[in-house]
Homo-oligomer: A and B are copies of this chain.
Amino acid sequence: MGATKLDIYDQNITDIAMIAKVFAHPARVAILQYISNQEACICNDIVDEIGLAQPTISQHLKVINDAGLLHGNYKGKSLCYCLNIDRFKAFQELLNSFFNTTQTNCC
């Protein structure tokens, strides 16, 4: 009990849910917005910007990264996280395809 029953849903449904989960925490939305607005995107800057501890930010970054939304390059001693814009746009399209195939048929 307690755990999500993943085996009973269609693949496209679990895909939508997994994408939405990335955006389902304000820290991750804020991180994504921040990264996309900066030229250099160093993790410690995010810690300063958002009022959360460094391990917490790092944990959220891992969730975002596991979803394939980041790629990082080393620049000096700081890690530069950048948005994987192709993946990001693919997420947008998947969500829109769900929204657009949904209609109201009754009431």
State the A residues within 8 Å of B (CB).
Answer: 4-6, 8-10, 13-14, 16-17, 20-30, 32-33, 36-41, 50-52, 71-73, 80, 82-83, 85, 88-89, 91-92, 95-96, 98-99, 101-107
Q: Is the pair B51, A29 in contact by a Cβ cutoff of 8 Å?
A: no
Identify A20's interface contact among B20, B37, B39, B89, CB under 8 A.
Answer: B20
Q: Is the pair B14, A26 in contact by a Cβ cutoff of 8 Å?
A: yes
Q: Which among A6, A20, A21, A101 has the highest number of chain B CB atoms within 10 Å? A: A20
Identify A25's interface contact among B4, B39, B98, CB under 8 A.
Answer: B4
* A103 vs B37: C-alpha distance when bound (angstroms): 7
Q: Is the pair B103, A36 in contact by a Cβ cutoff of 8 Å?
A: yes
* A98 vs B89: C-alpha distance when bound (angstroms): 11
* Shortest beta-carbon contacts, A-B, top 3: A82-B107, A20-B23, A24-B24
